[in-house]
Structure 1
């Protein structure tokens, strides 16, 4: 299952609680049309087949392809090459 760091949880909460965003909104992660990448968007509600992850007040909606890809990942935050805030994926530690 996708794991979120505390900073990612806070970033999702901030994005989904912005003024004008409906109660219960979440960050939707979905495969692009050609399934070669994933995309992010704030959504009012999950799509019909989405898996929903609730993490300390932040909600993540994932389509089936994204959920399968993210199953062994950690969502964190960091800075992109231009110094802007961004989400970052890392592999979960697989050691027992």
Structure 2
């Protein structure tokens, strides 16, 4: 399952708040057929068929369609370069030697 870091959770919360999105919203991650392989955007609500993951520490939500959920199965969602109302999210392989 996709692992969401607490830092990414804080960034998601900050972005949803800045965009006036309610607690039901979060970060939508969608697979693409070209480069970049994923797009990320803030969504007010999940689609009916979305898988919704919640970061434990912050309660931030990440929404994935079925195809995307399969593709990020062993990935980690993290954030870097947090600046006011922007964040640079990254999907990386999880280190399977820990946890």
For normalisation by structure 2, the TM-score amounts to 0.78
Deviations 1:14-65 (A, max 9, x none): 1112253233111111123xx3321111111111211000113101000111
Deviation at 1:6, TM superposition (A): 1.7
Q: RMSD of aligned C-alpha atoms?
A: 1.8
- Residue matched to 1:22: 22
Give the paired residue count: 90
* Structure 1, unaligned runs of 5 or more: none
Q: What are the residue-to-residue correspondences of 1:40-51 with 2, within 5 Å?
A: 40-51=40-51
Q: State which of 70, 73, 76 in structure 2 corresponds to 1:71.
A: 73
